[in-house]
């Protein structure tokens, strides 16, 4: 019995570290959240920030408005977007057993871009026609609605195809092709548009975390929570899928229904973030690798929460950089995530000497 005891103890030692890591990550989220609140175009002392957070009046009304109306929503959006994209990417990487997969691999974000392109770049410029309404209280849903419809259309297509195609590699390629088709259609749309419209669309493609006011944030929050909960529920299936579809099924995991849930969860997560914030790339690919590297495991029960938190941290960090604290310019968030994320992934690969081993 000695070997079994030692096996149990060593396993416990391994998994016993997990809550500690998660706690550390959660602490990281809090730290970066506070940093995000502290750094911006306008200098606001920490003391005032804390005062405003606990609900007391600050000396400057403007500061209060900035913190409550601009920085807090933006930081919360960063947390939601970072977590959502990361968990979406993780599921895609496990599902397709491909270390370079991300949440956009099924073409969901391209579908959203197409939807937005149609309303922004159409010959009659729908957004221009509805420009006045856009700024009224109930307005402003055109872009979000168009992006969601675009994502939903692609999602439907992918689900239908996934029912017919059992092989995941085929599904991956089909998803990538659909993404390419939508990108091509957007190009055609751009071709027939005027330079100002193209510039307008281009600004949307840069992504933005600061455009979600508090009263809309809750919708994004619901979508992310729903997608995230589905992902958590899929932890066991994802673990089984690490060994491949055949083994997963032989261990009692319902592969066909799992596929649908996984695709649905990723689409909700990626689609909602793209609809509210524009396309933000790279986070979904990098964060799962970082988390695997940190936690040293592929067990999704701890990997999913870890990825959630790590994604939030990375996005908050990128947002801080994008704000260029101290100056009044802001950089596009999508570019920053790629700029910061890529070297980090390169570092992870080199450290581990083998991407296959560090992945997945």
Partner 1 sequence: MKEQSIISTEDLKIGFLPQRAMKSAKVVAQQINVALKGGQVVCLLGPNGSGKSTLIRTLSGLHAPLGGTIQLGGHDLTRFSIRQAAREISTVLTDRLTVGNLSVYELVSFGRSPYTGWFGSLTPKDNEIIEWAIEATGIEQFIDRDVLHLSDGERQKVMIARALAQDTSAILLDEPTAHLDLPNRVEIIRLLRELARETQKGILLSTHELDLALKAADHLWLINMKGEVFTGTPEDLVLDGTFESVFEQDSFDFDRATGSFTLHQPTKQPVNIYGDEVAVFWTRRALEREGYRVDDSNGNSLQIEALSREGRLEWTLLKESNELSCGSVEELIDKLREITQLVDAD
Partner 2 sequence: MILKRFFYLFLEGLIKRISLNCHRVHRLSGWGVEIAALRNDTGRVRDSLLYCCLLTVIFVFGITACQSSAQKQQSKPQKTKAVSFSGQVHAKYAKGFRITYHKNYKLLEVLNPSQKKVDTLRYALIPRDLLDKVSVPDTRKIPIPIKSMIATSTTHVALTEMLDATDILKGVVGAKYVYSPKVRGMLKKGKISSFPMGQFNKEVALNMQPDIVMVSGGQASQFDNYRVLMDAGINVLVNADWLETTPLGKAEWVKVMGALLNKEKAANKDFSAVAQRYNDLKTSVDGLHARPLLIANMPYKGAWFVPGGDSYNATFFKDAGAHYPWSDSHQTGGMRKDFEVVYQEGLKADVWINPGAAKTKEGLLAKDSRFKDFKPFKTDEIYNNNRRMSPTGGNDFWESGVVHPDRILADLVKIFHPDIVADHQFYYYRKVR
Q: Is 26 in the site for partner 2 (CB under 8 A)?
A: yes
Q: Is 147 in the site for partner 2 (CB under 8 A)?
A: no
Rounded to whole angstroms, how far apart are CA atoms 274 and 149? 11
Least distance (Å) between residue 204 CB and partner 1 = 37
- x/- letters, 253..282, toward partner 2 (CB under 8 A): ------------------------------
Residue 203 binds: one of partner 1, partner 2, none (C-beta under 5 to 8 A by kind): partner 2
First to last CA, the chain: 33
Q: Is 129 in the site for partner 2 (CB under 8 A)?
A: yes
Q: Is 328 in the site for partner 2 (CB under 8 A)?
A: yes
Residue that has been written with the tokens 């849930």 in this structure: 261
Residue 240 binds: one of partner 1, partner 2, none (C-beta under 5 to 8 A by kind): partner 1
**Of these, 21, 189, 201, 282, which contacts partner 2 (CB under 8 A)?**
201
42 or 159: whose CB is closer to partner 2? 42
67 or 285: whose CB is closer to partner 2? 67
Tokens of 344: 């980090």
Residue 59 binds: one of partner 1, partner 2, none (C-beta under 5 to 8 A by kind): none
Q: Are 274 and 57 in contact (CB under 8 A)?
A: no
Residues 99-128 that bind partner 2 (CB under 8 A): 119-120, 125, 127-128
Residue 180 binds: one of partner 1, partner 2, none (C-beta under 5 to 8 A by kind): none
Rounded to whole angstroms, how far apart are CA atoms 296 and 280? 27
């Amino acid at each position: 019995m000695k070997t079994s005891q030692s096996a149990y103890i060593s396993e416990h030692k391994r998994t016993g570290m997990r809550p500690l890591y998660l706690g550390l990550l959660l602490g990281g989220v809090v730290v970066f959240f506070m940093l995000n609140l502290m750094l911006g175009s306008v200098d606001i002392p920490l003391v005032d920030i804390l005062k405003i957070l606990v609900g007391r009046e600050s000396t400057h009304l403007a500061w209060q408005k900035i913190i409550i109306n601009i920085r807090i929503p933006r930081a919360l959006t960063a947390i939601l977007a970072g977590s959502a994209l990361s968990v979406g990417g993780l599921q895609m990487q496990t599902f397709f057993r491909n270390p370079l997969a991300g949440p956009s691999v099924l073409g969901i974000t391209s579908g959203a871009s197409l939807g937005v392109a149609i309303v922004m770049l159409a010959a009659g410029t729908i957004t221009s026609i509805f420009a006045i309404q856009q700024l009224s209280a109930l307005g402003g849903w055109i872009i979000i609605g168009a992006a969601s419809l675009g994502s939903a259309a692609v999602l439907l297509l992918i689900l239908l195809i996934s029912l017919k195609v059992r092989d995941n590699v085929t599904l991956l390629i089909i998803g990538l092709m659909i993404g390419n088709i939508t990108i091509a259609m957007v190009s055609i749309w751009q071709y027939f548009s005027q330079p100002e419209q193209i510039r307008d669309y281009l600004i949307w493609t840069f992504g933005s975390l600061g455009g979600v006011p508090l009263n809309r944030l809750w919708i994004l929050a619901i979508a992310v929570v729903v997608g995230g909960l589905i992902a958590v529920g899929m932890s066991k299936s994802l673990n089984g899928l690490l060994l491949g579809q055949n083994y997963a099924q032989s261990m009692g995991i319902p592969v066909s229904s799992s596929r649908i849930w996984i695709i649905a969860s990723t689409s909700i997560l990626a689609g909602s973030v793209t609809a509210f914030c524009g396309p933000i790339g790279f986070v979904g690919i990098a964060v799962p690798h970082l988390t695997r590297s940190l936690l040293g495991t592929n067990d999704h029960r701890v990997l999913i929460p870890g990825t959630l938190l790590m994604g939030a941290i990375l996005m908050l960090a990128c947002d801080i950089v994008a704000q260029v604290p101290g100056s009044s310019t802001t950089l596009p968030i999508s570019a920053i995530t790629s700029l910061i994320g890529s070297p980090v992934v390169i570092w992870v690969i080199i450290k581990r000497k083998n991407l296959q081993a560090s992945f997945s």
